[in-house]
Amino acid sequence: MNLDKSKKRIAKKVKMGFKGYPQVSFAYFGETAEKATEVIVTFTLEEGAEPQEQRFAGKEDVREDEVIQSALVKIMERTDAKTVLEVEGTALLS
């Protein structure tokens, strides 16, 4: 899947807001606010359940990495996520 398509599909699900569980969230991290080199995907099956995390990292900005963005879309699809959240901005790695 190409990068633009992946980003649009993620943005569309994020805009829908909270629709229940299962829920997936994406949080981006990097050395600077302009370049996210990691993304942490958190999956929560149901309210009160222990969240599962998976980390993807890259040398360049992961928001512009076609492989990583396609993987995020596949995670949304395979988990049948009703809610997709995205933490705005890039948190700095310490």
DSSP 26-66: EEEEESBTTB--EEEEEEE-STTPPPEEEEEE-SS-GGG-H
> Is residue 24 included in any domain, yes or no?
yes
Convert the pLDDT of each residue in 12-66 to its tens digit.
999 999 999 999 999 999 999 999 999 999 999 999 999 999 999 999 999 999 9
Answer yes or no: is pLDDT of 94 > 90: no
- What CATH number is associated with residue 11? 3.30.420
Range of 17's domain? Answer: 3-88
> Is residue 73 included in any domain, yes or no?
yes
> Is residue 70 included in any domain, yes or no?
yes
Q: pTM (2 decimals)?
A: 0.91
Contacts of residue 42, Cβ cutoff 8 Å, sequence gap at least 6: 24, 25, 27, 51, 52, 53
**Amino acid at the residue 85:** L
> Is residue 93 included in any domain, yes or no?
no
Convert the pLDDT of each residue in 24-35 to its tens digit.
999 999 999 999
**Quick one: CA dihedral 59, 81, 3, 36, positive or negative?**
negative
